Structure 1
Amino acid sequence: MSTLRVTVEELTIHEHPHADALELAQVGLYRAVVAKGAYRTGDFAVYIPEQAVLPEELVAELGLTGKLAGSAANRVKAIRLRGELSQGIVCRPRALSGVDLVQAHRDGTDLAAELGIVKWVPPVPISMSGEVKPAPDLLPWIDIENLKRYPAVFPEGEPVAVTEKVHGTACCLTYRAEDDGVLVTSKGLGAQRLALTEDPGNLYWRAVRDHGVDRVAADIAGELGASRVGVYGEVYGDGVQDLGYGADSRRGAPAYAVFDIAVETGGRVRWLDPQELTAVLDGRLPVVPTLFSGPYDARRVIELAEGRETLSGRAVHVREGVVVRPLEDRYSAELGGRAIAKVVGGAYLTRKGGTEYE
């Protein structure tokens, strides 16, 4: 999931093609439906992104009582309004009446705490939970930000790889060469430097053992002279999330596909470039599909986020989205970290009965 930040943004207003009383307010590459005439291009307003959970009084103030997602009808979720995808909420809450919005925009001020907004934490099914232990030396996975919020991450024409984003749950494994140790965790637990105690009933450990991920990580450590290796793969299939890709993870081995690898050599951790990852694995583990490799084109990337999935080879359901990274891993000043971003498909976001376990 992306980092939750509630910020003041400069708006660009577009006509709504199917509604005379509505318009589209653009923030980055996101668009949110707003009442016609409420804002003009160049205005500043607060942007509340998806996955934000709003306090009851703010929901009422914005006239959204009973209209948001979740059991308490207080969570922001992408919806279609008169045929147009609306992601997030554009508003000017009364609580900020004394705030200089232009200055807050310039400063990049995060207003989430001031407005009582928190990030939605998805539920954790029993099969994905378990006993945990401190693991300060594991290599955690990172939150990937959405390209629509940070459109300047990649310059047009930069060589990139666009891979399919698979709807499952991230299994994060760290291998330690010094003691042949293996740490297994989820993305959420890994961020807290917690590892799961091995349990044959745990989904992540099942995937690791059934696919031999630990042994492949050990081989990579030996081949690259690494002291630690992190292997990050998506565990998926029926019984994991609502999109199963034709795989049944309840009766047999959980389906699994690698999406990233990190190695530590000489005390420095680096992420393998997309082509290096494929070469290093050399077919020893499944890898998420690459949809495009070549010069970056924002419009093409957004188009690739839509359509049908390719993982199953049978296009059994909608595609979740895509992940974009440069062919040569680098730092991004825009993100303050690694240059990697995602785009989530509109059809996926607005599907019925979706699950979002982490």
Structure 2
Amino acid sequence: MSTLRVTAERLVVLEHPNADALELAQVGLYRAVVAKGVYRTGDYAVYVPEQAVLPDELIEELGLTGKLAGSKANRVKAVRLRGELSQGVVCRPTALADTDLAAAAERGEDFAELLGIVKWQPPVPTSMSGDVVSAPDLLPWVDIENLKRYPDVFEPGEPVVLTEKLHGTCCLVTYVAATGEVQVSSKGIGAQGLALVEDGRNLYWRVVRAYDIPAVAARLAERLGAERVGIFGEVFGEGVQDLTYGVSARTERPGYAAFDMSAMVGGRLNWLAATELLDGELPLVPELWRGPFDAETVLAHAQGRETHSGRELHVREGVVVRAATERWSPVTGGRAIAKVVGDAYLTRKGGTEYE
């Protein structure tokens, strides 16, 4: 999941092609359906992104009672309104009536706490949980921001690589060269600096042993002269999420595909190309395209059917795009990496979003 920020944004207002009383307010490359005539291009308003959980008072004020997602109808989720995808909520809450939104946008001010908005935390199934221990040496995964929110992460024409985003759960493995210790965690648990105690019933540890990931990490640590190596992969299949890729996670060898890796060398963290270092060692997420960055090309690749199974069994979750040469991005203050999620995936029925 990306980080949750509720910010003031400059709008570009577009015509809704299928509704006379509605328009589209564009923020970055996101579009949210709004009532016609409320906003004009150049206006500033507050943008509440997907996966935000709103307090009851704000829901009532915005006229969204019964219209949001989740068991409590309080979570922002992508929907189609008269045929157009609407992602997020554009509004001007009364709590910010005296706020200069243009100035707030310039400062990048975050209104989440003031408005009582929090980030939705997906549930954790029993097979993905377990006893935990402190893991200060764990190499964590990073939150990837959405390209639609930050379209300037990449320069036009910059060489990039697109890989398919698989719908599963992120497995973090850290190998400590000096001791041979292996730390295994999930994205959510790892973000707390914790690792899972080994348990044969735990999904992540089953994957780690089934694919002998520690042995792969040990070989890479020796090759790179690294103190620690982190391997990050997606665990998927029936019993994990609603998209299965034709695999059952209940078998001895659940679905797994590595998508990234890092190494601590000389006390410095380096992000490395999994496709180069792990090819032939572990299954990899499919590479879909590489070439000069163009936003429309990336958005187009996020749509369609999955390719991992080789049978196009269901919708594609989306894509991850990263700079062909690893670099830091001043736009996000982190790695030059972003994601785009497919429209059909966002609006599918009965989807699961376990962490």
Q: TM-score range by the shorter chain?
A: over 0.9
Looking at structure 2, the residues matched to 41 and 69 of structure 1 have their Cα atoms a distance apart, in angstroms, of 29
User: Contact 2:206–2:252 at 8 Å: present in 1 too?
Assistant: no
Structure 2 unaligned regions, length at least 5: none
The Cα of 1:252 is off from its aligned counterpart by 3.3
Q: How does 1:165-204 map to 2 (within 5 A)?
A: 165-204=165-204
Q: Please tell me whether residue 302 in structure 1 is matched to residue 295 in structure 2.
A: no
Match of 1:37 in 2: 37
Secondary structure in structure 1 of the residue aligned to 2:34: strand
Which whole-Å deviations, capped at 9, do the CAs of 1:288-345 have from their partners, x for residues lacking one?
0000011111001001000000010000000000000011000000000111100001
Looking at structure 2, the residues matched to 278 and 161 of structure 1 have their Cα atoms a distance apart, in angstroms, of 10
Question: In structure 1, which of residues 302, 322, 341 is the aligned counterpart of residue 338 of structure 2?
Answer: 341
Looking at structure 2, the residues matched to 128 and 291 of structure 1 have their Cα atoms a distance apart, in angstroms, of 29
The one-letter amino acid paired with 2:289 is F
Looking at structure 2, the residues matched to 65 and 194 of structure 1 have their Cα atoms a distance apart, in angstroms, of 38
Q: Which stretch shifts more, 277-286 or 93-102?
A: 277-286
Looking at structure 2, the residues matched to 55 and 84 of structure 1 have their Cα atoms a distance apart, in angstroms, of 26
Q: Please tell me whether residue 316 in structure 1 is matched to residue 313 in structure 2.
A: yes
The one-letter amino acid paired with 1:260 is D
Looking at structure 2, the residues matched to 282 and 152 of structure 1 have their Cα atoms a distance apart, in angstroms, of 30
User: Contact 2:140–2:187 at 8 Å: present in 1 too?
Assistant: yes
Match of 2:126 in 1: 126
Looking at structure 1, the residues matched to 234 and 228 of structure 2 have their Cα atoms a distance apart, in angstroms, of 20
Q: How does 1:153-302 map to 2 (within 5 A)?
A: 153-273=153-273, 277-302=274-299
Secondary structure in structure 1 of the residue aligned to 2:297: helix
Structure 1 unaligned regions, length at least 5: none
Q: Kindly, what percent of the aligned residue pairs are identical?
A: 68
User: Contact 2:153–2:329 at 8 Å: present in 1 too?
Assistant: yes
TM-score, structure 2 normalization: 0.99
Task: Give the superposed CA RMSD.
Answer: 0.6
Secondary structure in structure 1 of the residue aligned to 2:24: strand
The one-letter amino acid paired with 1:299 is E
Question: Which consecutive aligned stretches of 4+ in structure 1 deviate over 2 angstroms post-superposition?
Answer: none
Match of 1:325 in 2: 322
Q: How does 1:5-84 map to 2 (within 5 A)?
A: 5-84=5-84
Looking at structure 2, the residues matched to 325 and 185 of structure 1 have their Cα atoms a distance apart, in angstroms, of 24
The one-letter amino acid paired with 2:94 is R
The one-letter amino acid paired with 2:255 is A
User: Contact 2:210–2:252 at 8 Å: present in 1 too?
Assistant: no
The Cα of 1:279 is off from its aligned counterpart by 2.8
Aligned length: 355
TM-score, structure 1 normalization: 0.98
Looking at structure 2, the residues matched to 161 and 325 of structure 1 have their Cα atoms a distance apart, in angstroms, of 6
